[in-house]
Amino acid sequence: MRNLASIRSWIVTDGKAGMESQCLGLAEALGLSPEVKRIAPRAPWRWLPPQAWVGPLTALSPKADRLLPPWPDLIIATGRQTVAPALAAKRASDGAIFLAQIQNPGVDPARFDLVIAPEHDGLAGHKVLSTLGALTRVTPARLAAGASAFQPMLTDLPRPLVAVLLGGPNKVYRMSEQLVERLGEDLAGLVRRQGCGLAISASRRTGAAAMARLRRHLRGLPAVFWEGETPNPYFGFLALADAILVTADSINMLSEAASTGKPVHVIDLEGGSAKFRRFHERLSAVGAARPFTGTIGDWRYQPLDETARAAAELARRLEAHRAARKLQ
């Protein structure tokens, strides 16, 4: 990959942490230090599809970051609410901006310079790069730093060490009290049968009530909990774990776990969708993930490295775009 240090870049998001992380992972893989722009449209635009926006660059909330010249060389955007403003910025730059959109934009991908979308979205076209799951910020260097920073937090836990990464309810999954109770019983049984230590990380969607139930089941057992009250040990958990359990609802966390090369077990939730099933089946097909049935296994596979692959393709197309602009 050519040196892109001179490239001026923006990341444009609607502020969702998981999606912003994907953009940052891609920018970091390119060796960039982007400016992050978090936008939010005013009513009625925030309720309308991108095709219906009028004056996208003036439709943003006064509290949102502004998209104004001088224009960057590259925009990496994600989220449906960024689609119309990012396309408007490209038009305002007379096409000089190279516009990369992460995830299905909901409009014709040919309007972008590159759309990077997961395979399970079923998007196709000459401007589309399909990836197995989400882009991530998982790198050997970040894992090593996480291991160094959070080793003391986990020193007293027995091996094998199991990281438990919890999501929660979303548009297609539910996480009922009964399911959480059953998960607590399964985790306690896992510790007793296999002598494991648990490093448990909650997300904002997990909820305090669910965590309280798990704590009750694991009282007196070797487990460390993180619920957001201290610096986030997430990469430390990934780095130091021997196996990783992840709830089925989080494509980001499953993709990150599968980027380590360690055994990944999927904790099933209630509900689901065809899109999620396709993703889980692909992880299984490449040997990365198996269902969690109360025990952990030990196997190896080639870690996912989709972010590096996407970065290489973006760099190739960006170079061609800049060369074509010079000839105009």
Half-sphere exposure (Cβ direction) of 43: Cα atoms closer than 13 Å: 0
SS3 state at 129: strand
From the centroid of its chain, how far is CA 255? 7
What are the residues whose beta carbons fall under 8 Å from the beta carbon of 119, sequence distance 6 or more?
Answer: 130, 131, 132, 278, 279, 282
Reduced to 3 states (helix: H, G, I; strand: E, B; else coil), residue 245 is strand
203: DSSP letter: -
Q: How far is CA 192 from the centre of its chain?
A: 32
**CATH classification code of 140-291:** 3.40.50.2000
Joined tokens for residue 19: 């999606």
Query: In angstroms, rounded to a whole number, what is the distance separating the alpha carbons of residues 312 and 307?
Result: 9
Same fold, 9-136+306-327 and 140-291: yes
> What gap in Å lies between CA 171 and CA 271, rounded to an integer?
9
Return the CATH number of 9-136+306-327, one of 2.40.70, 3.40.50, 1.10.10, 3.30.70: 3.40.50
Q: Given this model, what pLDDT does residue 206 score?
A: 96
Amino acid identity at 222: P
The pLDDT, as a whole number, for residue 3 is: 65
| Other beta carbons within 10 Å of 317 | 16
Predicted TM-score (pTM) of the model is 0.94
Read off the pLDDT of residues 293-326 as tens digits, 9 standing for 90 and up: 999 999 999 999 999 999 999 999 999 999 998 8
Beta strands, E only, 79-227: 98-102, 114-118, 128-131, 161-166, 173-174, 197-202, 223-226
Task: Please name which of 205, 204, 240, 247 lies closest in space to residue 224, comparing C-alpha atoms.
Answer: 240
Per-residue pLDDT, 323? 92
Biggest CA-to-CA distance, the chain: 70
Residue with tokens 């995830």: 103
pLDDT tens, residue by residue, 119-142: 999 999 999 999 999 999 999 999
| Cβ(138)–Cβ(259) below 8 Å | yes
Predicted pLDDT at 117:
97
Question: Domain coordinates of the chain in residue numbers?
Answer: 9-136+306-327, 140-291
Q: What is the mean pLDDT of residues 96-115?
A: 96
Give residue 280's identity as a one-letter amino acid code. H
Among 16, 19, 14, residue whose Cα is nearest residue 41: 14
Spatial distance between the Cα atoms of 176 and 293, rounded to a whole number of angstroms: 18
Q: Decide if pLDDT at 5 tops 80.
A: no
CB 236 within 8 A of CB 228: no
The proportion of the chain whose per-residue pLDDT surpasses 90, expressed as a percent, equals 87
Give the list of residues 6+ apart from residue 125 with CB closer than 8 angstroms, or none. Answer: 109, 110, 115
CB 323 within 8 A of CB 96: no
